[in-house]
Amino acid sequence: MATAKSRKKSNTSKEDLLHHYREMLLIRRFEEKAGQLYGMGLIGGFCHLYIGQEAVVVGLEAAAEEGDKRVTSYRDHGHMLAAGMDPKGVMAELTGREGGYSKGKGGSMHMFSVEKHFYGGHGIVAAQVPIGTGLAFADKYNENGRVTFTYFGDGAVNQGQVYEAFNMASLWDLPVIYVIENNQYAMGTSVSRSSSTPEFFTRGEALGIPGEAVDGMDVLAVKEAGERAVAHARAGKGPYILEMKTYRYRGHSMSDPAKYRTREEVQKVRETQDAIEHVRELLLQGKHADEDELKAIDKEIKAVVNEAAEFARESPEPALDELWTDIYA
């Protein structure tokens, strides 16, 4: 990975840079707040934060068009926000309240929005890969020109069902983009300890699926690669693999002993590769914004997140009779 400072200067427009900056900052501040609420006991159960990986989803959303779909794992808050879901509804789901996307009954890992074409939120590692492939099958069948972004991790990539899905997607030229978010760890297991070949972008080669590795800490590189993948899938040429080299700053979930990597390792990535810092520098260098303007944006985003947190604390708990709705009997 290039460092935040050494990355090439961009000729991206001011509007686009500001958009990426806001979107990534919203995810980071939202996740920081979720971590706080968790610490206060207002969020229970599992909660996996996306801090550090923001450029992946923000860059790919910038390459998507209205109507395109997305499906991901349990590390899903960033994907929802980037898809345009309401921070209030996401935060209220984390606190298990009525105003949440699943009426407080799903929690962090189980939220959906058909309106925003977000299909979850899946707690079973790699389960979303066949689901994303199925969504793409439906789109091809309906000839609607849509593509599906199917996100999964470096741990999930070693699951058998991934290759069954790859085979069908390639056989039927399904419009699906497989996004491997390689944050280098699956819980406490590093890629070098778990994977016989670490070059995940080549995992579709035997099945005829092209792939490329991308600096997932560089939102502009992500967007560019996303556009190539989208063009491929939308043209009817079938699936495409993007391996995003990224890093998570926080623990796997809120309960993580963090014994598998050093503080120095995390600190080094934060200091030299941070995706938000990168865009911040581009904005300042290009004289698109000054420190005061960036501070004002930060303030604005914090207000949105605080409002979401307030809503999530004040929304009532689901009524008892909700126990009997949305279930298979």
Ligand X SMILES: Cc1ncc(C[n+]2csc(CCOP(=O)(O)OP(=O)(O)O)c2C)c(N)n1
Residue where the block lists tokens 């080669």: 205
What, of Mg ion, ligand X, none, does residue 145 touch, CB below 5 to 8 Å by kind? none
What, of ligand X, Mg ion, none, does residue 61 touch, CB below 5 to 8 Å by kind? none
Q: Both tokens of residue 33? A: 């707040």
Specify the residue, 167 or 194, whose C-beta has the smaller distance to ligand X: 194
Specify the residue, 58 or 186, whose C-beta has the smaller distance to Mg ion: 186
Q: Which residue is nearest to ligand X (CB)?
A: 153
Q: Least CB distance from residue 48 to ligand X, whole Å? A: 6
**Interface with ligand X includes 186 (CB under 6 A)?**
yes
Specify the residue, 27 or 125, whose C-beta has the smaller distance to ligand X: 125
Q: Both tokens of residue 30? A: 């939202």
Which residues within the stretch 147-166 sit at the binding site for Mg ion (CB under 5 A)? 153-154
CB distance 70 to 76 below 8 Å: no
- DSSP string covering 20-60: HHHHHHHHHHHHHHHHHHHHTTSS-S-----TT-HHHHHHH
**Interface with ligand X includes 246 (CB under 6 A)?**
no
Candidate list 102, 133, 183, 315; residue touching Mg ion; CB under 5 A: 183
What is the CB neighbour count within 10 angstroms for residue 192? 8
Q: Least CB distance from residue 155 to ligand X, whole Å? A: 3
- With a CB cutoff of 8 Å and minimum separation 6, the contacts of 36 are none
Q: Of the candidates 296, 287, 283, which has an alpha carbon nearest to the alpha carbon of residue 18?
A: 283
What, of Mg ion, ligand X, none, does residue 245 touch, CB below 5 to 8 Å by kind? none
Q: Of the candidates 135, 136, 145, 33, which has an alpha carbon nearest to the alpha carbon of residue 81?
A: 33
Which residues within the stretch 21-80 sit at the binding site for ligand X (CB under 6 A)? 73, 75
Q: Least CB distance from residue 271 to ligand X, whole Å? A: 21
Specify the residue, 46 or 172, whose C-beta has the smaller distance to ligand X: 46
Q: Least CB distance from residue 194 to ligand X, whole Å? A: 9
Q: What dihedral angle (degrees, nearest 10) is formed by the CA atoms of 253, 258, 260, 266?
A: 90
Candidate list 171, 187, 206, 296; residue touching ligand X; CB under 6 A: 187
Q: Which residue is nearest to Mg ion (CB)?
A: 153
Our CA angle for 288, 16, 73, nearest 5°, is 130
Binding residues for ligand X (CB under 6 A):
73, 75, 123-125, 153-156, 183, 185-187, 252
